[in-house]
Structure 1
Amino acid sequence: MWTYLRRRILQSALPLVAVILGVFVLARLTGDPSNLYLPLSATDQMREDFAAANGLDQPIWKQMADYFWGVLHLDFGTSLRTGEPASTMVMRAFPATLQLAGTTMLLAIVIAVVFGSWAALKPNGIADRIVSFFAMVAAAVPDFWVAILGIWIFAITLQWLPTSGVDAGGASWVLPIATLMLRPVGVLAQIVRGSMVTVLGQPYVKVAKSRGAGQLRIVTHHALRNAAAPALTVAGDLTVGMINGAVIVETIFGWPGIGKLMIDSILQRDFAVLQAAVLITAIAIFLLNIVIDMGYALLDPRVRPVTKQRKSMAGGAPENKKKEEAADV
């Protein structure tokens, strides 16, 4: 397992470097920060002093080298907007995104497992058709449209929920979670339904039925574990996409997470904060992918990495068998 982890880390090193390089270059294509942070009456000398104070007067290759050197020493620079360390601002906003994405994904998995299993009990039945219809609609509807529609109906028209922000009562969580949850529920319900239909047709399930096992026990103790592996992989990919896609939802609902911080940093040309936010998000996604792969390996032993000891045992078996046969002769 440790060999597998080392290999995954080495495989992800190059994409992380490419992410840092790409964000560094693209961030500077947004324009000169002095146009935002200095008054319109600023002189050329004031602009030169601003650039020198923030290291923007150096050649682009020198700025890039300094940034890479700082990242190696866990120094992500200082915010042009607040003067705080960029890493402090990112780590303050990141938990809000993780809480939102984690809560949404847990609810989506529970709902998708329930409805997908329900639909799989009678393929092509009424329940199956209803679940399939709503799953396809939920997977196809854009997040931003659902967010705007939810604000119009539940926040403005009915005035049941707040339009944005985070309150102590938890009402502000409803619309962001409902918006982010639709697509994962739709996709996972279809995956669970297909896997359950396949598993419920296996011989061991028929044996369990012949021994008098109830339908609930068959689903929870026999079918669900084997049907969970494909859904876990898809759920991991959806979680990664949710962290990336939270940029739009967090901006619409004013959620104080990493997505809103990225948008604010782009609009305000706060290079250091934007670079730190993208890099830390990329590292978090990389770690999440490793956890997903390990979880998938625990559910499905066929995908577990083969150790050297197991390989040597497998390779030595025929030789040992030949020795035993020679001794018998």
Structure 2
Amino acid sequence: MHRYIGTRIAHSAISMVGLVVLVFFLARLTGNPADIYLPVEASAEARAAFSAAHGFNDPLVVQFWHFLRDLLHLDFGMSLRQDRPVLDLILAAFPTTLLLAFFAMLFALIIAIVSGALAAQRPNGVLDRFVNVISLAGASLPNFWLAIVSVLVFAVWLRVLPTSGTGGFVYWILPVMVLSIRPCGLIAQIVRGSMISALSSAYVKTARAKGVARTTIVFVHALRNAMLPVITVAGDQATGMINGAVVIEVIFGLPGIGKLMIDSIQYRDFAMIQGGVILTAVAIFALNIMIDLSYALLDPRIRYN
């Protein structure tokens, strides 16, 4: 187990090195920050002083070396736009994104597992066809369109939910529902397919012959054996949620890492862009490792040697 975790961390570290190089140089292709932070009529001396104060007049190789040196000390620099340490801003915004992704995934898993398991009991039945249509529609609709339509319907027409912002429980309803619809549709399809295969297995037939209750067969015996592909897809969707929350946070005005990154790109806040991408990648790498380790908990036959 420890060897497997060490190998996965090493592979993630290699990917991280490539990501660090890419995000540093690609961020600087967006242009010179002096064009945004200084007036249009600013003199050449003022622009040169601004670049010198923030290290932008050094060669890119030198800037990259300074960035790596500071990164090894967990120093992500200062935000140009807010004049605060990047790490403080990210740590303040990240909980919002994690909470949004967590509740959206939890809601999607509950609905998808229950609906997929019930639909698999009678393939091609009325419930199965209904679940198929709804799940395929949910998996096909883009998040930004769903977000705009949900605001129009529930906030503008019906006026039962707020359009955006932060506050109590009601402010989270629309973002969580919109973000969960797509993974719910995909996971429901996977649950249905896996459950159909599991319910036709020999051990299920034996359980039925012994008189085990249908609910126990479906949600205890068959569902556990059908969960491995579900965990794989759910893991991919969970990592995608952390990235996909950008659109939802911007539309609904949530102060998460996604909105922070969009604002940083618009204002060419290089340090903020670099820190946000790197820490998001670390969270995704850690989540992938935990998902792989969860396989052994679901299936005792799996061992990491």
TM range (shorter): over 0.9
Give 1:114-153 correspondences, 5 Å limit. Answer: 114-153=114-153
Report how many residues are paired: 305
Give 1:135-174 correspondences, 5 Å limit. Answer: 135-168=135-168, 170-174=169-173
Inter-partner Cα distance in structure 2 for 1:303 and 1:183: 30
Give 1:214-293 correspondences, 5 Å limit. Answer: 214-293=213-292
Equivalence for 1:297: 296
Inter-partner Cα distance in structure 2 for 1:132 and 1:304: 35
Deviations 1:83-113 (A, max 9, x none): 1111110111011000000011011101101
Deviations 1:243-296 (A, max 9, x none): 111111111111111110110000011110111000000000000000000001
SS in 2 for 1:61: helix
Inter-partner Cα distance in structure 2 for 1:185 and 1:129: 16
Equivalence for 2:177: 178
Equivalence for 2:23: 23
Q: TM-score normalised to the size of structure 1? A: 0.91
Equivalence for 1:48: 48
SS in 1 for 2:30: coil
Inter-partner Cα distance in structure 1 for 2:112 and 2:193: 12
Equivalence for 1:315: none
User: Once the 2 structures are TM-superposed, how far is the Cα of residue 134 of structure 1 from its aligned partner?
Assistant: 0.6
Which deviates more, 115-124 or 154-163? 154-163
Inter-partner Cα distance in structure 1 for 2:301 and 2:282: 28
Equivalence for 2:2: 2
Inter-partner Cα distance in structure 2 for 1:136 and 1:20: 37
User: Once the 2 structures are TM-superposed, how far is the Cα of residue 21 of structure 1 from its aligned partner?
Assistant: 1.1
User: Once the 2 structures are TM-superposed, how far is the Cα of residue 300 of structure 1 from its aligned partner?
Assistant: 2.2
Equivalence for 1:327: none
Letter in 2 for 1:244: N
SS in 1 for 2:128: helix
User: Once the 2 structures are TM-superposed, how far is the Cα of residue 302 of structure 1 from its aligned partner?
Assistant: 3.6
Letter in 2 for 1:300: D
- Please say if residues 298 and 304 of structure 1, whose CA atoms lie closer than 8 Å, have aligned partners that are also in contact: no
Q: TM-score normalised to the size of structure 2? A: 0.98
Inter-partner Cα distance in structure 2 for 1:237 and 1:107: 16
For structure 2, list consecutive stretches of 5 or more residues without a partner in the other structure. none
User: Once the 2 structures are TM-superposed, how far is the Cα of residue 301 of structure 1 from its aligned partner?
Assistant: 3.2
User: Once the 2 structures are TM-superposed, how far is the Cα of residue 163 of structure 1 from its aligned partner?
Assistant: 1.1
Inter-partner Cα distance in structure 1 for 2:250 and 2:147: 10
Give 1:77-96 correspondences, 5 Å limit. Answer: 77-96=77-96
Inter-partner Cα distance in structure 1 for 2:41 and 2:302: 65
- Please say if residues 87 and 276 of structure 1, whose CA atoms lie closer than 8 Å, have aligned partners that are also in contact: yes
For structure 1, list consecutive stretches of 5 or more residues without a partner in the other structure. 307-329
Give 1:102-121 correspondences, 5 Å limit. Answer: 102-121=102-121
Equivalence for 1:310: none
SS in 1 for 2:268: coil
SS in 2 for 1:71: helix
Inter-partner Cα distance in structure 2 for 1:92 and 1:182: 27
Inter-partner Cα distance in structure 2 for 1:302 and 1:238: 25
Inter-partner Cα distance in structure 2 for 1:52 and 1:300: 58
Inter-partner Cα distance in structure 1 for 2:156 and 2:18: 43
Letter in 1 for 2:229: P
Letter in 1 for 2:216: R
User: Once the 2 structures are TM-superposed, how far is the Cα of residue 218 of structure 1 from its aligned partner?
Assistant: 0.9
Inter-partner Cα distance in structure 1 for 2:300 and 2:61: 48
User: Once the 2 structures are TM-superposed, how far is the Cα of residue 2 of structure 1 from its aligned partner?
Assistant: 0.6
Q: Does 1:210 align with 2:193?
A: no
User: Once the 2 structures are TM-superposed, how far is the Cα of residue 23 of structure 1 from its aligned partner?
Assistant: 1.1
Inter-partner Cα distance in structure 1 for 2:23 and 2:284: 16
User: Once the 2 structures are TM-superposed, how far is the Cα of residue 220 of structure 1 from its aligned partner?
Assistant: 2.0
Equivalence for 2:37: 37
Quote the sequence identity (%).
Answer: 50
Inter-partner Cα distance in structure 2 for 1:56 and 1:159: 49
Inter-partner Cα distance in structure 2 for 1:156 and 1:296: 44
Deviation beyond 3 Å, 4+ runs, structure 1 = none
Structure number with bigger Rg: 1
Give 1:60-71 correspondences, 5 Å limit. Answer: 60-71=60-71
What RMSD, in angstroms, separates the aligned Cα atoms of the two structures? 0.9
Deviations 1:212-266 (A, max 9, x none): 1111111122111111111011101100011111111111111111110110000
